[in-house]
Structure 1
Amino acid sequence: MLYITGTPIGNLEDMSYRAVRILQEADSILCEDTRVTRKLMTHFEIDTPLKSYHDFNKEEVTESLIEDMKHGKTYALVTDAGMPVISDPGFELVSRMQDEGLPYSVIPAASAFTMALVASGIASYEFTYFGFLPKSSSKRSEKLSEIMHHQFTSVLYESPHRIKNLLTEINKIDSGRIVSISREITKKFEQHVRGAAAELLSKLDDEIPLKGEFVVVIDKYEESETEFTGQPKDHVTSLVEEGMRPKDAIKLVAELRGLKKQEVYDEFHK
């Protein structure tokens, strides 16, 4: 049996009774960083053995874990904070459990991105979770351009030393876009700030300390009617200049204007 067990993202009082019981009863707990998980175990007086399971060893240990569970062993999978598998290792193990027809269950807990979305004041009927942006500057610019032209609300994670750079890039593309920043969620200095990109950028370092992990919620892209008056080719060109890949820009322009993608492609490449 495998229990995919959610843990608190900051405030230990958010730990559920069920999660504590599962961690106590499991034969072993699979965790990213044993040092981090051991603090949680100590707080709740749980003495279940810990076993490392992370991006660097998951391929080596997954099959042995499957064999253990075939022979009756029970594991609990946790992450350093929040729900396992979300932007963390684990989906491969769940996939193998499915392949082998082995039982597993999910023990719920908070995820920072859902809590930030709820606290943002930005419409959440349709949204896309993007996780962390790529580290490569070129790939990062491409992804951010895609996000800034996305037709749904977007949610992403950012580190404190990159948040200013992120807001600067957002500001260059659309300084008036409504953005919400959440930090230190469930902790003592929890903070949620919403406003235009330019406004939030001006508040960094002052009203918004560069401490803690950040969750950024970006309002959806809305194309004004006046932007459709130009030629599709010019529209694609402007998106490419903002950092979007030509094929993505062509697809977006076709969707926004109700045109066939091939038509836009042909015009752009004339």
Structure 2
Amino acid sequence: MSTGTLYIVATPLGNLEDITLRAIRVLKDVSVIACEDTRRTVKILNRYEIRTPLFIFHEYNKVRAGASILRRLRDGEGVALVSDAGTPAISDPGFELVREAIAGGVPIEVVPGPSALIAALVVSGLPTDHFAFEGFLPVRREKRRKAMKALASETRTMIFYESPQRVADFLREAAEIFGDRRACFVRELTKIHEEILRGTLPELCAEISRRGSVLGEITIVIEGVGKTVELSVEEIVQAALEESSGSSRDLAREIAGRTGLSRKDVYAEILRQRQK
């Protein structure tokens, strides 16, 4: 018996019209659809008269459910992996399933479509030629600030996901650490209450703090540090060392590639600071 195929299927962020014809066909043809929340996915299935059974796969059951999905694939069944919205395997346990499927020799096909991070980036008005997706930063304040400081010298446009409960704190800390940079606050993209706010980080921080609370799924896009802003090798290395505990050579290679600084100079500075 041949192995079944795992299909990575992108689904709408909110507007149910944002789905491809191929996605609809695949969702109808597979044996089962692995989803995070049946209540979310069933809306798409009902809209397009898809009768395929659903199988719950999320962060809290990923080990057991992942093993079951792999058994189905080995038995020749086709499985579609979807997330609650957008492209699966980004900031969710789907990537672990994909990794296990690859290790097991399972054929994988991607059915591309909506992605919150790409949609937010292109609507932000910030540079799109080079960007870095950071996803969710740590929940704890100390670790979140440490992560932001490590990104202080990042020249690429940065994209973050954040929860409504923490977004005011996120913007407050981002304004403090990144300064007066341009940014874009994107909420409930493609949905009825879609909102896109553009301005500097302090301006966005003031607006969200004034409201007291916000609802919905949020993406924040922040411009990278301007090329005219000169940070010393010492400052860049210090910020990177707060986040990384890897080898000095690997860290020097990463910093040099990101900033254009001499790898030799960066390596020497790393050694100097680590010997303090």
TM-score range, shorter chain: 0.7 to 0.9
User: Is 1:187 matched up with 2:191?
Assistant: yes
CA distance in 2, matches of 1:262, 1:71: 51
Specify which of 256, 264, 267 is matched with residue 269 of structure 2: 264
Give 3-state SS (helix, strand or coil) of 1:204's partner.
Answer: helix
Specify which of 121, 127, 131 is matched with residue 123 of structure 1: 127
Q: Deviations over 1:164-214 (max 9, x none)?
A: 111111121243111111111111222222221112222225689722221
User: Is 1:50 matched up with 2:81?
Assistant: no
Specify which of 84, 107, 130 is matched with residue 103 of structure 1: 107
Give the alignment of 1:34-183 within 5 angstroms.
34-183=38-187
- Unaligned stretches of 5+ residues in structure 1: none
Letter in 2 for 1:196: T
- Unaligned stretches of 5+ residues in structure 2: none
Please give the TM-score of this superposition, normalised by the length of structure 2.
0.83
Point out 4+ residue stretches in structure 1 off by more than 6 angstroms. Answer: none
Give the alignment of 1:188-207 within 5 angstroms.
188-204=192-208
CA distance in 1, matches of 2:212, 2:122: 19
Letter in 2 for 1:77: L
Letter in 2 for 1:264: E
CA distance in 1, matches of 2:63, 2:203: 45
Contact 2:153/2:236 (<8 A) preserved = no
Q: Deviations over 1:54-97 (max 9, x none)?
A: 12222223333223222221111111111110111222222233
Please give the TM-score of this superposition, normalised by the length of structure 1.
0.84
Q: Deviations over 1:30-68 (max 9, x none)?
A: 111122222322222222111111122222233332232
Specify which of 209, 214, 217 is matched with residue 213 of structure 1: 217
1:266 deviates by: 5.4
Specify which of 10, 15, 26 is matched with residue 14 of structure 2: 10
1:130 deviates by: 0.6
Contact 2:150/2:239 (<8 A) preserved = no
CA distance in 1, matches of 2:61, 2:267: 45
1:17 deviates by: 2.0
Q: What is the match of residue 30 of structure 1?
A: 34
Distance of aligned partners of 1:236 and 1:28 in 2 relative to their CA distance in 1, 3 Å threshold: closer
CA distance in 2, matches of 1:29, 1:16: 16
